[in-house]
Structure 1
Amino acid sequence: MNHETGHGIADRPFDTIAECIRRHAQDRPDAPALSDDDHTLDYAALDARMDRVAAALQRDGLVPGDAIALCGAPSVVQALVFLGALRAGVVVAPLAPGSTPSSLARMVADAQARRLFVDASTAGDFAASMVPVTRLDDGFEAWMGPIGSSPLAVTIAPESPFNIIYSSGTTGEPKGIVQPHGMRWAHVRRGLPYGYGPGAVTLLATPLYSNTTLVVFFPSLAFGGSVVLMRKFDTLGYLQLAERVRATHTMLVPVQYQRLMAQADFGRFDLSSFRMKFSTSAPFSAALKADVLARWPGGLVEFYGMTEGGGTCLLEAHLHPDKLHTVGRPALGTDVRLIDEAGHELPAGMADATGEVVGHSPGMMVGYHGRPEATREAEWFDATGKRFIRTGDIGRFDADGFLILMDRRKDMIISGGFNIYPSDLEAQLREHPAVAEVAVVGVPSEQWGETPVAFVVRRAADDTAAEALRAWLNGRVGKTQRLAAVHLVDELPRSAIGKVLKRELRERHALYSVAKVDR
C-alpha cells in the first residue's frame, strides 16, 4: 500500500476506516494519530484502545446495528469512543452539547441508544437518563476492556449504518440522518487529491457531532495523518496552535474564517505549512474567499452539500479565482440537477434556469431514522427511477457548469407575488462600510403577504443609524425588494457550526416595531 499517494485507498472501492487505522498501526505504530490539550495517541495506542472500546461494548451486549449516543466537548477520548464503536459495528449518534436537556432526551430515544457517553460539561443533562451512562472523563479507563482486549470480528457492508447525525439545520426539531459506511468511504476517497497522508496535520476547531468536522476528520485518519482537536475555538488560540503544530489541513466554517482574517495581527503568524483549507455549512462570500486566498498560504476548497448527501459541489477556489461567487462544479461521480416547484426537471443548459438543487452520488443517507414520511419528502426520482436528495436550495448553473446559489427555498420571500432572495439584499448591504454582518428574513405583512427586514451587526465604533442603512439599501434595489426595517444587533444568532438561525430572527422581529414602506 502506498500511503504517501493514497493509491491503496484509490484501489479499494470499499473499506472501513477502522481497518485503515489498523494498517497504519501495523506500518507506522509510533506516528501521531490524535491529540488535544490533555492527551496524545500514536497509531499503535489508538488501535489498541479502539479494540478495548469495541470489546467493552460487546461485553455490555451491543451487537452490530445497535446504537450509542455521544455527547461532550471535542476530545481524544470522545473521538476514541466513536472510532472504537465503529470497529464493533455499533452505530454512533453524536449529539450537540448545546441542545436543551429535553431535546437531548428525545434524540437519545429516537436513536434507540443502548448506552450514553458524556463528559463533565453534559453529565448534568442526563441525570435522569433511562439508559446506562459512561463518563468520558471519570472512570472511562475502568469501563474499557482490559489491556490487550480483542473484540469479536464483525462484518461491515457499505450499506451498514455508520452514524446518525442529528441535523435541525436552522429550522426546528432535529431529524436523525442515517449515514452508511459506504457514504463515509466515499468521503475518504474524495480526499485523494488534497494532500492527506503521513506527515499531514489536520487542525479541527469545530465539534465532532457535526458532519462539517467529520468529512475531514475521518479522511485525515484513513490516510494516516495526525488530527489535533481544539476544544473551543478562539482566533488567537487557533493561530498560535496552527503555527506550533505546523498544521497542513483544516476545516472551518465561514464565520470562523471571517473572524480569523479580522484578527489584527493575523499576518505575524507563520501559516506556510498549510496545504489545504476547507469550508462548508454556511454561505461563504466571494470577498472573504478572496481575502483568504490572498493572505493564507495553501489551497482553499469549499464543499457544498448536505449531511443527507446527494448533490456535492466542490469549489477549488485557488484554481478558479474567477468563480468565487459560486460553490463550484458537481464532484466526480455526482449528478446535480435543478427542478421546478412542481418537481419537474429543468432542461440542462437552459439559459437562466433557476430551480431547486437535487443531487445523486455514491454518498447518500439511508434515510431519516424512524421517519419514512420525512425521508420520502427529501427524495426526488427522475424519469428512470434514479434517487436524488432534495437540498431545499435554489440555484442556477453558469455557462461553465458552476453552481450559483440563490437562497434556501424556505428562506425565499414572496412579497406581493414577487420572489425576493435574501442573499441578494445581504450582498448589497455588505457593500456598506458600516456593515460587518447581516441577515435578511421575511416577516408577515398584511399588505404584501411577506416583506423583508434586515438584522445588521455594525463594524466596531460605527454609529450609522438603522434608518440610514435602510434608506441606503432601498435606494439601490427595486421597489419590490425594499426593506421594511433594519434592526441593529450586537451579534447574529448562530448554530455551533456557524449557520445563522433565521428562525430565531423571525421570532425576534415580533419584539420590534416594523417601519412601513411606501411602495
Structure 2
Amino acid sequence: MTTAAEMLQSEFASFADVIHAHAAERPDDIVIVAGDRRLSFAEFDTYGDRTAAGLQRAGVRSGEAVSICGLNGWAYAVLWLGILRAGGTVAPLAQSATPEALRLMVEDCGARLFFADRAIMDAMTLPEGATRVALDDDAAFEAWLPEAGTKPEPVEIDPEQGFNIIYSSGTTGTPKGIVHSHQMRWRQITAFGGLIFTPAASAILSTPLYSNTTLVTFLPCIGNGGKAVLMQKFRTKEFLELSEREKVTTAMLVPVQYKRLMEDPDFDSYDLSAYLMKFCTSAPFAAELKADILKRWPGGLVEFYGMTEGGGSCALRAHEFPDKLHTVGQPMPGHEIRLIGEDGKEVPQGEIGEIVGRSGTMMKGYKNRPEQTRETEWYDGEGNRFIRTGDVGRFDADGFLTLMDRRKDMIISGGFNIYPSDLEAVVVEHPEVEEVAVIGVPSEDWGETPVGVVVGPSDAEAIREWANAKLGKTQRLAAVHIVDELPRSAIGKVLKRELRDQLKLG
C-alpha cells in the first residue's frame, strides 16, 4: 500500500485515499476535535466509509452534488470525507442564507440529499425530489448511516472532477456556485504540507466549514495528518482555552476575530507558546492590528489575499516584513498578478488598476453560469487565462501589493475617483471611532458623494468635521451616520450593500 508520505509527494492523489493511508499508519491519533467528540483517524476513516456507502445506497453517482448546511461539528467533517469517497461533489451552504436562497442553491447544484441542522430544515422548502437528513442530531445521523463495517464501492477519481461547489454570499443577489476540482484542492494540500501542516499540527477552525477561508486550512491540515479543532461559534474565551488545551499550532482567522481576541483583557494570561503560525484573510487587515499581534502572540503571521474563485494570490509574511504591514504582500510562488485599466490593458508600474491573477489554483467556473464565468475571465496577449478580482490595487517599487478597494465600491464624485479605504483610514484614527465603513450615495451636484458609517461616537457632526479637516477637498464626507455595529458576513466582511439598505441611503 502506498504510504501517506508517498501520496503527498505525488502530482495527484485523492483526499479520501490519503486519509485512509493516515488511518492505516496512525489509527489512534486524533484528527477531529468537536465539542466533546474526539475522532481518531481510524474512527474518521470508518465513518467516511459508512457515509460513502450510505450515499451510494441512496443512489448518489460520481460527480453528483450533496449539500450540507449547519454549524461546524464532527458529522459535518465526516460528510466532507464520505461525499468525496463516494465520488460526489461537496456543496456546503451558508446557514446565514435566507431559506429562499438555500432552496435556490440546492436546486442549482442538483443535490438530491440535503444534510442540515434541524432549525434550517424546518425553515425552508426543498426542491422536489430532494431528501433531508438531520446533521445536528447525532442519533438521527447515526441511524441514517449503514451499519458499522460497511464499505463503499471503490470509485475512480478524475483530477478534474468537481471536489466542491462553494457558493458566493447568499445575503444579497443570487448566489453563484464556484466549482473547484480535485486537482486544485490537492495542490493546496501539498503546497502547505511539510512545514506548518504536519502530523504534529493542531489547527483551530472558528469560521464555518462552508467557507473557503476555513477549507484552505482544514483540508491541508488533516490531509497532511494533523488535527482539526472545530468551533461551532467564535467566542474569545473558548478560542483561547482551546488553543491552550489542544496545544494549537496554527489558526486561520478573519480580522474582526483578531481584533476581538487582542482586546480580550485576559489574552496575555493564556499559554499560546505552541503557535507556529497564524493566518488571516477575507477582509481588510489593519496594519496597527498586525503589529499588535506580532508583538503579543507567539509564532509568525501570514496574511493571504485572494479569491474563492482562485487565480493569483498574495501573501504577506508580516513577521519577516514589518515595514510592509500596510500591504497584502507579494504574489505567492507560482502565482502571477497583473493590474489592468478600464480599457482592459495593463497599467504602468506604480499606477492603480484592477487586480487579475492566474495560478494552478483556479476555479473551473461558476456552476451553470457560462456567461458569468466568461465575465470574470481576462486573457493576456498570449492567451493565458486570468481571473478578475474586482479589487483595485497598486504595486510598490518592491513588488508589494496595496489594496485600494473593491472596484464596485469606488466612488466617482465630480469626476474624481475616491477610494473608501483612504477615507476609512483617516476616520478610524479618531479616538472615539471603533469601526468605520464609507459608502457612496447619489448626489445631484457630484453624481456620488462619500458618507461615513461609524461605530463608537455619539456626535456624528463632530466626527464629520474632524475627518473633513484631515481629508482632501474631493474626499470630504457629506454625512456621518452612527450605528451600533456594522453588518458582516460569517467570515467578517462588512456588507456595504446591506448597510446602504439598512440606512436607506440609495
**Secondary structure, in 3 states, of the residue corresponding to 1:251?**
strand
- 1:116 aligned to 2:114? yes
Equivalent in the alignment of 1:500:
494
1:487–1:194 distance in 2 versus 1, CA, 3 Å: farther
- What number of residue pairs does the alignment pair up? 503
**Are 2:127 and 1:133 aligned?**
no
Residues 405-445 of structure 1: CA distance to partner in whole angstroms, max 9, x if unpaired? 11100000000000000000001111111111111010111
Secondary structure, counterpart of 1:236 in structure 2 = helix
The answer to whether 1:23 aligns with 2:17 is no
- Are the structure 2 counterparts of residues 169 and 134 from structure 1 closer, same or farther at C-alpha, using a change threshold of 3 Å? closer
Q: How does 1:26-175 map to 2 (within 5 A)?
A: 26-126=24-124, 130=128, 131-136=130-135, 137=137, 138-168=139-169, 172-175=173-176
What fraction of aligned residue pairs are identical, expressed as a percent? 57
Does 1:185 find its partner at 2:186? yes
Distance (Å, rounded) in 1 between the aligned partners of 2:45 and 2:426: 52
Note the residue ranges of structure 2 that are not aligned, 5 or more in a row.
none
- 1:227 aligned residue: 228
Contact 1:73 1:207 (8 Å CA) reproduced: yes
- Preserved contact between residue 2 and residue 21 of structure 2 (Cα < 8 Å): no
Deviation at 1:375? 0.4
Contact 2:106/2:126, CA 8 A, preserved across alignment: no
Which residue pairs with 1:516 in the alignment? Answer: none
5 Å-filtered alignment, 1:360-371, equals 360-371=358-369
Partner of 2:273, secondary structure, is: coil
Q: Deviations over 1:164-215 (max 9, x none)?
A: 1011388532111011111111211231364211121111111001111011
Amino acid across the alignment from 2:230: L
Quote the RMSD (CA, aligned, Å).
1.8
How far did 1:2 drift? 12
2-side partners of 1:170 and 1:120: how far apart? 21
Q: CA deviation at 1:82?
A: 1.4
1:93-130, Cα deviation, whole Å (9 max, x unpaired): 10111111111100100111121001233221245553
Q: Tell me, yes or no, if the aligned pair for 1:170 and 1:500 is still in contact at 8 Å.
A: no
Cross-structure match for 2:254: 253
Q: TM-score, normalised by structure 2?
A: 0.96
Alpha-carbon deviation of 1:392? 0.3
Q: Which secondary structure state, in structure 1, belongs to the residue aligned with residue 412 of structure 2?
A: strand
Alignment of 1:224-373 (within 5 A): 224-347=225-348, 350=349, 352-373=350-371
How far did 1:311 drift? Answer: 1.0
Amino acid at match of 1:409: R
SS of alignment partner, residue 393 of structure 2: strand
Alpha-carbon distance in structure 2 between the residues aligned to 1:423 and 1:193: 37
Among 423, 435, 438, the alignment partner of 2:436 is 438
Cα distance in structure 1, aligned partners of 2:177 and 2:410? 25
Residue by residue over 1:261-288, the C-alpha shift from the partner in whole angstroms, topping out at 9 and shown as x without a partner, is: 0111111111111111111110111111
d(CA) in 2 for partners of 1:133 and 1:42?
Answer: 28
> For the Cα contact (< 8 Å) 2:26–2:41, is it kept in 1?
yes
- Match for residue 515 of structure 1? none
> Is 1:201 equivalent to 2:197 in the alignment?
no
Indicate if the aligned counterparts of 1:206 and 1:252 stay in contact, CA closer than 8 A.
Answer: yes
Query: The residue matched to 2:438 in structure 1 has which SS?
Result: strand
2:341 is matched by which residue type in structure 1? D
How many Å separate the matches in 1 of 2:361 and 2:68? 23
CA contact (8 A) 1:279 1:301 kept: yes
Report deviation, 1:11: 2.3
Unaligned runs of 5+ residues in structure 1 are 513-519
Shift in Å at residue 257 of structure 1?
0.3
Which whole-Å deviations, capped at 9, do the CAs of 1:366-416 have from their partners, x for residues lacking one? 111001110000000111111110000001111111111111000000000
